[in-house]
Amino acid sequence: MEAQANMAVAAAPAAAESAPGEPVAALHLEDVKKRFGRLSVLESVSLTVPAGERRGILGPNGAGKTTLFNLITGELPLSGGTIRFFGQDIAPLSVQRRASLGLCRTFQTTTLFPKLTAVENVIVALQSQTRARFQVLRPRSWNRDLEARARELLTQAGLAAQSDREVRYLSHGEQRQIEILLAVAQKPRVLLLDEPTAGLAPGDVPLVTNMLKQLGRDVTMVLIEHDMSVVFELVDRITVLHYGRAIAEGTVEEIRGNALVQEIYLGGKL
């Protein structure tokens, strides 16, 4: 983890582009637009997440939250605007290129490798960071360090007992945990979490939130979540999306008191 913090500093090539004196934002979105044909999903979103911050994204269904993630990770092309990652314009980069820069994500619906064991799932993520991913004529069982690291991560998450089971046989809560482990194993600099507690029984929610709380401040985090208690527990600031626009941004307290947000959520219990 320390090593990667250093890397984070070293690997901000476009730092010079930002205004002098001001620290480089981990994510800087300016006038980001997305249209599907004539349907405009994101009108214009501007957003700045400083390095190390935990940011929550709120908004009703259809506000464009997941679309925003897909634009940031590159799964969808931009219809307009710019996205900077530690100062670097990442619009021309492919999904995998962005990921290897440290822009990582989890998925709203669990996206694991169902027929691989938990350890293998984590190894896939771990080896993406090493030269091991190019090894063709070498059994992977020889990479003992990778396996040990994977088991360590699973043990930290309290999943040691499930390590050698195929993930399709694990409980939903365990799968959600591994979903996050995969992203963590990638050594993210920015971690986009798409409803990490989706579908979890209330009792299982802390399993996930505790994992996230343990992440160091070297990881900038952006979180989409419907469970308000989770949001308020984890984040420093909140951005509210509504019909493809960022209509409010502030600390948890500010957003709680924001009349417009109250109105949108129709007396919602913010």
Neighbours of 164 (CB within 10 A): 12
54, 55, 105, 176: which one binds another protein (CB under 8 A): 105
Q: Which is closer to another protein, CB of 85 or CB of 107? A: 107
Q: Binding to another protein by residue 136, rule CB under 8 A?
A: yes
Long-range contacts of 66-71 (CB under 8 A, 24+ apart): 66/108, 66/194, 66/224, 67/34, 67/41, 67/42, 68/32, 68/42, 68/241, 69/105, 69/192, 69/194, 69/222, 69/224, 71/32, 71/34, 71/42
Q: Which is closer to another protein, CB of 178 or CB of 215? A: 178
In a 3-state reduction of DSSP, which class is residue 108?
coil
Count interface residues toward another protein (CB under 8 A): 39
Contacts of 52 (CB under 8 A, 6+ apart): 26, 217, 218, 220
Q: Binding to another protein by residue 128, rule CB under 8 A?
A: yes
Query: Radius of gyration (Cα) for the chain, nearest Å?
Result: 19
Q: Which is closer to another protein, CB of 135 or CB of 155? A: 135
Q: Binding to another protein by residue 18, rule CB under 8 A?
A: no
CB 114, min distance to another protein, A: 6
The two three-digit tokens of residue 66, written as one number: 């997941």
Q: Which is closer to another protein, CB of 5 or CB of 93? A: 93
Identify the CA nearest to 52 among candidates 5, 84, 99. Answer: 5
83, 99, 153, 246: which one binds another protein (CB under 8 A): 99
Q: Binding to another protein by residue 114, rule CB under 8 A?
A: yes
The two three-digit tokens of residue 96, written as one number: 């995998």
Q: What span, in angstroms and rounded, lies between the C-alpha atoms of 118 and 113? A: 9
Q: Binding to another protein by residue 182, rule CB under 8 A?
A: yes
Q: Binding to another protein by residue 144, rule CB under 8 A?
A: no
6, 111, 214, 229: which one binds another protein (CB under 8 A): 111
Cβ(147)–Cβ(154) below 8 Å? no
Q: Binding to another protein by residue 186, rule CB under 8 A?
A: yes
Q: What span, in angstroms and rounded, lies between the C-alpha atoms of 65 and 39? A: 16
Piece of 155-163, 180-188, 204-212, 255-263 that binds another protein (CB under 8 A): 180-188
Q: Binding to another protein by residue 231, rule CB under 8 A?
A: no
**Contact pattern from residue 248 through residue 267 relative to another protein, giving x for each residue in contact according to CB under 8 A and a dash for the rest:** --------------------
Q: Which residues bind another protein (CB under 8 A)?
A: 73, 75, 94-97, 99-100, 104-105, 107, 111-116, 120, 123-125, 127-129, 132-141, 143, 146, 182-183, 186
